[in-house]
């Protein structure tokens, strides 16, 4: 196991994509200490910011300690191993991740899991905007893997999502699933407006409160259960909407009937209440 302990609080942004099992597993302690990182616009060595220790032979397991809110790019493009962060961390965590697992006991910044392709990110806290989403100007977001957030997420979670699953056990901001093409987004609590805007495919499940559904979605059915993944099923009534019709979309938007009685007027558009 490799341990990195932040020595002092950080004043400037740090880019440290080398903090990854792929980059550290085959290196000696001396080689790890000399890995280059950016602190502001200056290049420094990893040992200048972190106390580094190697314990045992499991080099693919990394634990990082400290307030890393200003540290960007941890776990970027990682393909294997396990990376655990004990504290908050900054933007671009797990960017373009291809395998392995990242666990965070704290909060994460914007673009967590940006464009990830495989692996798992689990956050025992809150995260920022653009969860799993691509950079501005790109149109391919998360294409595989799983992101689990035990707290809240901000805006545009799962934007341009191609595949994979995002599970949020707190609340979500606006535009969840923006331009989504496939995959699953599950939001357990309150969800901001414009959910599923311009989506073409995939599935979004909102088990909490949603103020309104975009007018470019059509009510399709009333279901007595919905599947999240594998054999996991929520057994309660959900409204099923299809859309976004503005994009000729075939996405599925499931909204809890129990938590959203103000949406019951949609039932008059159904030919008859049909529960499967």
Rounded CA gap, 167 and 203, in Å?
12
Residue 105 lies in a domain: yes
- Model confidence at 274, pLDDT cuts 50, 70, 90, reads very low
Whether pTM exceeds 0.75: yes
Residue 275 covered by a domain: no
The predicted model gives 106-121 an average pLDDT of: 98
State how far the Cα of 195 lies from the Cα of 158, in Å rounded to an integer: 10
- Lowest average pLDDT, out of 17-26, 112-121, 267-276, goes to 267-276
d(C-alpha 219, C-alpha 204), whole Å: 14
Q: Look at residue 275 in the predicted model and tell me its pLDDT.
A: 40
Whether residue 238 is contained in a domain is answered as yes
- Work out the pLDDT band at 260, boundaries 50, 70, 90: very high
Output phi, psi for 89, to 5 deg: -140, 165
* Domain enclosing residue 249, as ranges: 2-269
Average pLDDT over residues 228-232: 89
pLDDT number for residue 83:
98
- Taking only the tens place, the pLDDT of each residue in 143-200 is 999 999 999 999 999 999 999 999 999 999 999 999 999 999 999 999 999 999 999 9
* Tens-place pLDDT, residues 47-80: 999 999 998 878 899 999 999 999 999 999 999 9
Residue 276 lies in a domain: no
Q: Is the pLDDT of residue 276 over 50?
A: no
Mean pLDDT of 97-108: 98
- Band the pLDDT of 265: cuts 50, 70, 90: very high
For tokens 């999502």, what's the residue? Answer: 161
d(CA 104, CA 15): 18
**Confidence band (pLDDT; 50, 70, 90) for 237?**
very high
Structural domain contains residue 274: no
Give me the half-sphere count of Cα atoms (radius 13 Å) on the Cβ side of residue 151: 15
Tally of domains within the chain: 1
The counts of H helices and E strands in the chain are 2, 19
Strand partners, 233: 227
């Amino acid at each position: 196991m490799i341990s990195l302990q932040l020595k002092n609080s950080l004043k400037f942004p740090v880019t440290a994509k080398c903090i990854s099992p792929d980059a550290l597993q085959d290196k000696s302690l001396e080689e790890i200490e000399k890995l280059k990182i950016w602190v502001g616009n200056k290049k420094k060595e990893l040992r200048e910011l972190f106390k580094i220790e190697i314990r045992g032979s499991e080099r693919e397991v990394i634990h990082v300690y400290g307030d890393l809110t200003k540290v960007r790019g941890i776990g970027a493009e990682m393909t294997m191993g396990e990376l655990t962060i004990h504290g908050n961390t900054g933007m671009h965590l797990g960017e373009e991740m291809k395998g392995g697992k990242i666990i965070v006991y704290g909060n994460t910044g914007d673009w967590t899991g940006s464009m990830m392709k495989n692996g798992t990110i689990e956050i025992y806290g809150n995260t920022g905007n653009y969860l799993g989403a691509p950079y501005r100007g790109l149109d391919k977001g998360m294409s595989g893997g799983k992101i689990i957030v035990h707290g809240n997420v901000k805006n545009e979670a799962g934007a341009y999502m191609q595949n994979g699953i995002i599970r949020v056990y707190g609340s979500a901001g606006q535009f969840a699933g923006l331009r989504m093409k496939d995959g699953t987004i599950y939001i357990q609590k309150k969800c901001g407006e414009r959910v599923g805007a311009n989506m073409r495919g995939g599935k979004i499940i909102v088990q909490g409160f949603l103020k309104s559904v975009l007018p470019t979605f059509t009510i399709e059915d009333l279901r007595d259960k919905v599947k999240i993944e594998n054999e996991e099923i929520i057994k309660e009534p959900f409204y099923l909407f299809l859309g976004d019709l503005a994009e000729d979309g075939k996405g599925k938007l499931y909204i809890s009937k129990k938590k959203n009685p103000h949406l019951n007027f949609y039932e008059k558009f159904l030919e008859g209440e049909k529960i499967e």
